Structure 1
Amino acid sequence: MSSVQLPIPAKLAPLFTATNKRYRCSHGGRGSAKTRTFALMTAVKAYQAMMNGESGVILCAREFMNSLEESSMEEIKQAIRSVPWLAANFDIGEKYIRTIDRSVSYVFAGLRHNLDSIKSKARILLCWVDEAETVSEVAWQKLDPTVREAGSEIWVTWNPEIDGSPTDKRFRKSQDDSIITVEMNYTDNPWFPEVLEIVRAKDQKNLDPATYAWVWEGAYLENSEKQVLAGKYRVAEFGDELWRQADRLFFGADFGFAKDPNTLIRSFIIGNTLHIEYEAYGEHTELDHMPKLYDTIPEVRNWPIKADSARPETISYLKRQGFKISSADKWQGSVEDGIAHLRGFDEIIIHPRCKNVAKEARLWSYKTDRVTGEVLPKLADGNEHCWDAIRYSLDGHIKRKTKGAIFF
Structure 2
Amino acid sequence: MSETAQLPIPAKLAPLFTATGKRYRCSHGGRGSAKTRTFALMTAVKAYQSMMNGESGVILCAREFMNSLEESSMQEVKQAILSVPWLAANFDIGENYIRTTDRSVRYVFAGLRHNLDSIKSKARILLCWVDEAESVSETAWTKLTPTVREEDSEIWVTWNPERDGSATDKRFRKSPGDDCITVEMNYSDNPWFPKVLEGDRLNDLRRLDPATYAWVWEGAYLENSDKQVLAGKYRIAEFSDTLWKEAERLFFGGDFGFAKDPNTLIRSFILHNRLYIEYEAYGLQTELDHMPALYDSVPGSRDWPIKADSARPETISYLRRKGFDISAAKKWQGSVEDGVAHLRGFDEIIIHPRCKNVAREARMWSYKTDRITGEVLPKLADGYEHCWDAIRYSLDGHIKGRSTVWDIM
TM-score (norm 2): 0.56
Matching residue's letter, 1:142: K
Deviation at 1:4, TM superposition (A): 1.3
| Structure 2 stretches lacking a partner, 5+ long | 229-345, 351-361, 364-409
Give the residue type in structure 1 aligned to 2:172. Answer: F
Q: 2:136 matched to which residue of 1?
A: 135
Deviation at 1:207? 0.4
Gaps of at least 5 residues in structure 1 are 228-368, 376-408
Match of 1:381 in 2: none
- Partner residue in 2 for 1:87: 88
Aligned residue for 2:249? none
Q: Distance in 2 between matches of 1:370 and 1:13?
A: 45
SS in 2 for 1:116: helix
- Counterpart Cα distance in 1 of 2:192 and 2:73: 20
CA distance, structure 1, for counterparts of residue 119 and residue 131 of structure 2: 16
- In the other structure, the counterpart of 1:220 is 221
Question: Deviations along 1:108-136, whole A, 9 cap, x unmatched?
Answer: 00000000000000100000000000000
**What's the counterpart of residue 109 of structure 2?**
108
Q: Residue 97 of structure 2 aligns to which amino acid in structure 1?
A: Y
Distance 1:116 1:223 in 2: 36
2:58 aligned partner: 57
Aligned-partner Cα distance in 2 for 1:225–1:186: 28
Q: Which residue of 2 aligns with 1:258?
A: none
1:100 maps to a residue whose letter is T
Counterpart of 2:13, as a letter, is L
Report the CA distance between 1:183 and its aligned residue. 0.1
Which residue is equivalent to 2:161? 160
> What is the identity percentage for the equivalent residue pairs of Structure 1 and Structure 2?
82
Match of 1:210 in 2: 211
Give the superposition deviation at 1:226. Answer: 7.9
> What pairs up with 1:168-207 in 2 under 5 angstroms?
168-207=169-208
Name the aligned partner's letter for residue 194 of structure 1: K
Shift of 1:371: 2.8
Deviation at 1:174, TM superposition (A): 1.4
Contact kept in structure 2, 1:208 and 1:370, CA below 8 Å: no
Tell me, in whole angstroms, the C-alpha distance in 1 between the residues paired with 2:27 and 2:347. 32
How far apart are the structure 1 equivalents of 2:136 and 2:149? 20
How many equivalent residue pairs? 234
Match of 1:16, as an amino acid?
F
Name the CA distance, whole Å, in 2 between partners of 1:159 and 1:65: 17
Question: Radius of gyration: which is bigger?
Answer: 2
- C-alpha offsets along residues 292-345 of structure 1, whole Å, 9 cap, x if unaligned? xxxxxxxxxxxxxxxxxxxxxxxxxxxxxxxxxxxxxxxxxxxxxxxxxxxxxx
Runs of 4+ that moved beyond 3 A: 372-375
Query: Following superposition of structure 1 onto structure 2, how do residues 205-354 of structure 1 map, counting pairs within 5 Å?
Result: 205-225=206-226
Following the alignment from structure 1 to structure 2, what is the Cα–Cα distance between the partners of residues 138 and 161? 19
Change (3 A) 1:104 1:201: same
Contact 2:59-2:105 at 8 Å conserved across structures: yes
Q: Which amino acid aligns with 2:140?
A: A
Q: 2:32 touches 2:217 (CA, 8 Å); kept in 1? A: yes
SS for the counterpart of 1:225 is: helix
2:76 and 2:134 mapped to 1: Cα distance? 19
User: Partner amino acid for 1:210?
Assistant: A
Q: CA deviation at 1:225?
A: 1.7
What are the superposed Cα offsets for residues 172-227 of structure 1, whole Å, 9 maximum, x if unpaired?
01141100000000000000000000000000000000000000000001333289
Residue 236 of structure 1 is matched in structure 2 by none
TM-score (norm 1): 0.56
| Structure-2 separation of matches of 1:167 and 1:222 | 17
Residues 211, 223 of structure 2: 8 Å contact kept: no
Alpha carbons of 1:10 and 1:370: their partners in 2 closer, same or farther (altered >3 Å)?
farther
**SS at 2:174 equivalent:** coil
Alpha-carbon distance between aligned partners in 2 of 1:224 and 1:52, rounded to the nearest angstrom: 52
Q: CA distance change for structure 1 residues 106 and 175 in 2, over 3 Å: closer, same or farther?
A: closer
RMSD, aligned CA: 1.8
> Equivalents in 1 of 2:227, 2:214: separation in Å?
14
AA at the equivalent of 1:182: V
